[in-house]
A = this chain, B = another copy of it.
Amino acid sequence: MFDQFEQHAAVFQQVILDKQSEIEAWFRTKWQQHRPPFYGSVDLRNAGYKMSSIDMNLFPGGFNNINADFLAAAVLAAQDAVERACPTAKSILLIPENHTRNTFYLQNVYALSKILESAGFVVRIGSLNAEVTEATAFTTALCDELVLEPVVRTGNRLGLADGFNPCLVLLNNDLSGGVPEILQNIEQVMLPPIKGGWTTRRKTQHFAAYNQVADEFAAVIGIDAWDINPYFEQANGLNFHEREGEDQLADVVQRLLDKIQAKYDEKGITDTPFVIVKADAGTYGMGVMSVKSAEEVRKLNRKNRNKMAVIKEGLEVSEVIVQEGIYTYEKVGEAVSEPVVYMMDRFVIGGFYRVNEARGMDENLNATGMRFIPMDQEVPYQCEDADKRHFEQWQNVGVADHSLPATAERNRLYVYGVMARLSLLAAAIELE
């Protein structure tokens, strides 16, 4: 199976490499028509015969997992990103998530602020957390110090108590809990825009935009769009606690499984079709299940119904995306992994493999048991000796090299970068 994966992957990567200049020219044209998001991260799955984004995060939370050796590229990209938003910006107010006890998340905020500082901006962190009532120093997982200050609103502008009043407000808060009043009707440039938050954003809208992008891209390089695009449908009116909408959901699942099976038959693929059911407005790998038959949806036990019913910030799930599952044959050691690609403006700035030793290749990997496994070096551990996390960091940013085989690591990462940018482009269209 893995030999076959490698063969399929090699063919696909060769196609992408051969078309590199057409692909890059196409992206350049697209970025003239569509404004790239400030930043984003994309989860990819790679089955060899099929490869695609399965999730696009407009508020990436893992900048600390990016290889610091490639900071220079991130710094260049950050300059383009900020200039596009606010050509005269000198300083940035960064608004993070409220969870101040997750030291890894704080490390992400620290890493992000370092990138922006290195790009020459004054960066200060404005917290929406009611517990942050004055400038307070927090210690991150790697023992760096991060000062959070309460956000202050003056008229329709956001700033800090001492009069800090920047041109650009950068959100690293996905607004899962709704849009706080303090963020509404702000006259400053706020990126990503409020409508990019999970209060209003829907995965199905993203993948509707992705359909267009994938179709056009597939035509440009002469492949079947299905090779880079998973089927999906929305199911709504659900209440997992009350088992409302279960039959409709089962019908959607069955329809998609049949569609996938038909395509597998056409392509001679012997894998068993599966779908992923995910909250349509959600993140953090919560409210996700992998399903191989309509029956499984009808037979959900209480525990699994509870798991699906409520996601981040205690939100009830009534709408889901049912998405064609893509097997991931990418492995790190013996563990199943999926690539995660980080971007700023229109550029790839790094990535890593998400590894889950407890999960199979047809499952969501963004879940308990997830670890980041090192490739040839480990990151320093957190200060206090709790659950030591690792990650498999990319050792290069995926600059293609035509003098190497298509299967070379850097060429594979280039291909991942292309796939991620397709999803980034879909996000740009989605936000219009």
**What's the dominant secondary structure at chain A's contact region?**
helix
Q: Mark A379-421, 1 if CB is under 8 A from B, else 0.
A: 0000000000000000011011110000000000000000000
Inter-subunit contact A88/B29 (CB<8 Å): yes
A29, B90: Cα distance in complex, Å: 11
A189 adjacent to chain B (CB < 8 Å)? no
B24 touches A121 (CB 8 A): yes
Complex CA gap A69/B76 in Å reads 15
Q: How far is the CA of A120 from the CA of B23 in the complex (A)?
A: 8
The closest CB in chain B to the CB of A346 belongs to: B79
Q: Which residues of B contact A396 (CB under 8 A)?
A: 72
A21 interface residue per 8 A CB criterion: yes
Using Cβ atoms and an 8 Å threshold, which residues of chain B touch A22?
90
Contact indicator A28/B88 (Cβ below 8 Å): yes
Bits for A72-91, please: 1 = Cβ < 8 Å to B, else 0: 11011101100100011111
A7-49 CB contact bits vs B (8 Å, 1 = yes)?
0000000000000111111011100100000000000000000
Q: Closest CB of chain B to A322's CB: distance in Å?
A: 36
**Interface size (A, Cβ < 8 Å)?**
39
Q: Which of B24, B77, B80, B119 contacts A24 (CB 8 A)?
A: B119
A400-B118 CB under 8 A given contacts A70-B72, A72-B73: yes
Tell me the minimal C-beta distance from A361 to chain B in angstroms.
30
A90 to B29, CA, bound (A): 11
Question: Chain A 327-370 against B: per-residue CB contact (8 Å), 1 yes, 0 no?
Answer: 00000000000000000000100000000000000000000000
Distance (Å) between the CB of A102 and the closest chain B CB? Answer: 22
- Chain B residues whose C-beta falls within 8 Å of the C-beta of A120 in the assembled complex: 20-21, 23-25, 27-28
Give the one of A75, A117, A399 with max B CB within 10 A: A399
How far is B313's CA from A219's CA once the two chains are assembled, in angstroms?
51
CB distance from A248 to the nearest CB of B (A): 45
Chain B residues with CB below 8 A from A88, complex form: 25, 28-29
Residues of B with C-beta under 8 A to A179? none
Interface: A225 (CB within 8 A) = no
Q: Which of B21, B83, B122 contacts A91 (CB 8 A)?
A: B21
Residues facing B in A70-127 (CB within 8 A) are 70-73, 75-77, 79-80, 83, 87-91, 117-122
Picked from B25, B76, B121, B402, the residue with its CB within 8 Å of the CB of A76 is: B76
Known: A73-B72, A77-B76. A87 touches B32 (CB 8 A): yes
How far apart sit A396 and B72, CA to CA, in the bound complex (Å)? 8
User: With a CB–CB cut-off of 8 A, which chain B residues contact A75?
Assistant: 73, 399
* Chain B residues within an 8 Å CB radius of A21: 90-91, 120-122
Q: How far is the CA of A121 from the CA of B402 in the complex (A)?
A: 12
Cα A119 to Cα B402 in complex, Å, equals 12
User: B residues within 8 A CB of A121?
Assistant: 21, 24
Q: Which residue of B lies closest to A24 (CB)?
A: B120
When the two chains form their complex, are residues B72 and A397 in contact, meaning their CB atoms are under 8 A apart?
yes
User: Shortest beta-carbon distance, A141 to chain B, in Å?
Assistant: 16
CB neighbours of A73 from chain B (8 A): 70, 72-73, 75-76
Chain B residue, CB-CB nearest to A345: B76
Q: Given A117-B402, A120-B20, A90–B397 Cβ distance below 8 Å?
A: no
Known: A24-B79, A28-B79, A72-B73. 7 other contacts (CB 8 A): A21-B122, A25-B90, A28-B87, A70-B73, A73-B75, A73-B76, A118-B401
* Sample of 28 A–B contacts (CB below 8 Å): A20-B120, A21-B91, A21-B120, A21-B121, A22-B90, A24-B79, A24-B119, A24-B120, A24-B121, A25-B89, A25-B120, A28-B79, A28-B87, A28-B120, A29-B88, A32-B87, A69-B69, A70-B73, A71-B399, A72-B397, A72-B399, A73-B73, A73-B75, A76-B76, A76-B347, A80-B80, A117-B402, A118-B399
